[in-house]
Structure 1
């Protein structure tokens, strides 16, 4: 009996707990949610304005920082970058302008100075002597330009230059004959006049002009260049003796004989240089290899050869000595010339 009452009491307790939990659930679920306080519109606009300000400020700061960095780098680059500005008074068109002036300068007739003055007027700067310094009083010769050859160009300022030509002029005049019996009482006497002639040229941004009187000068034509073959030898290791050297020298006779007379097809067997496929095709006849120095190449079975070769013109028997710098390589059972070009560096020759 007690057990039955105990079980009944337990059931009632469980039900009471369930009712309590349900009531609590209802209580909490029925509790109204707190609403966020409403912000006035002016507050929202202030927040938006502040956000916009900081975005714009950050962007401007970034732009200024980038510009400062770029300007600094540009300034450094400008300091280290070489000045590549070309003087306009040294350009080909300036040289042609000066050349045309020289031709007109050394052309005149004593009875038509106005014609010469008009020709020169398109070249000379305002204020210069209209005959460009030529003293016509007492002049006994007429002149006709024969040749104008560019000699050198001298920079004077950023827009001025002296352009120097070698000029050859034929001077002529009438002279009386000693014997007066002939119908023609005079004859024309001529002589050649060769001078180095400097033309002062400037460019004002719109046109070229001779800004000062031209003048006769002197040019030292003696070269200071040394023999190129000696410069080549300094960087090479000589191969003085051995069967390979003997074979290479014998091959040179075969090669140059073929190079002088054979067609491209036949020559291609011993000449593999793609840039120099054609030989002389009979223009010259091979006479001899006067000397040949053999040096080590950059690869195995490769040699750099400097050969002094004599060729002859078949029509006149005039002989020419030529220095050839070439790369000789051994391909299987025979030698070939893999490079035949005189003006390359040793590094370029050896890389073939």
Structure 2
């Protein structure tokens, strides 16, 4: 039974991945610092299924505290592969707080790499982002594109910087690395600040949808189960291909324009959207579009979920979550 260390395990993608790896027969050690970017209670709910599994162990750890914090927490643990999902998220907030993103996304990654070096753990799956491509004109985005002048937000710069550090540790210490650039992942448990989640809640509340720009910006929306399948395949590849250093795109290869996304969310909710127009936000890119041919060839990645199917699953989860919350509130109200 191989052991996977998953950082950011209480988050949207990390919680789904932990459940997938447990189902696949891994032992999973999960780390999270419960960053206050959104409610701790939501992250604890994300963890609920994994915490019931005897092959899952959880530790609350902040990577910003350095490799010694990890060494103390994991002193008796054997780890076969690290999946580094933990990061400070959000393009807009990174423009306002660039130093925080340097610390959380770059320095914390170096701390993790240093712990791996000291603990002699050599397999790393690193979660990067499509943001590193910026407003690259050539489409779709390929992994071999030159990106030094591409990043247009501190978030993107932090992710590309972290990729550079994974190569440094591959070169110096023989780390086995797969960098994966995620493309706008959505689905059940999605962070409440992200577009699909915000739009669905606003529509269900009868409120207008804020649309930034003219609606022509486009994103390569990728359903979480497809992304998690790509991660699981990537881990299996790492464990059987020593000497690896590769970067792949995990997207859907089907960009959806913002105006079309809003219509699709409205259809899934059963409400005709009313738009509230705003100018483009600083740091936002015009389009993301993944060339996934390398991932198909390397790990057999093959996303299956259409936007309509994925939105139906998300809306079903949102309704169940909101209904459960409403029941808890009602149960807490005195009857006399």
Q: TM-score range by the shorter chain?
A: under 0.3
Higher relative contact order (CA 8 A, sep 6+): 2
- Name the TM-score, length of structure 2 as normaliser: 0.19
Report the structure, 1 or 2, having the larger helix content. Answer: 2
Rg: which structure is higher?
Answer: 1
- Name the TM-score, length of structure 1 as normaliser: 0.19
Report the structure, 1 or 2, having the larger strand content. Answer: 1
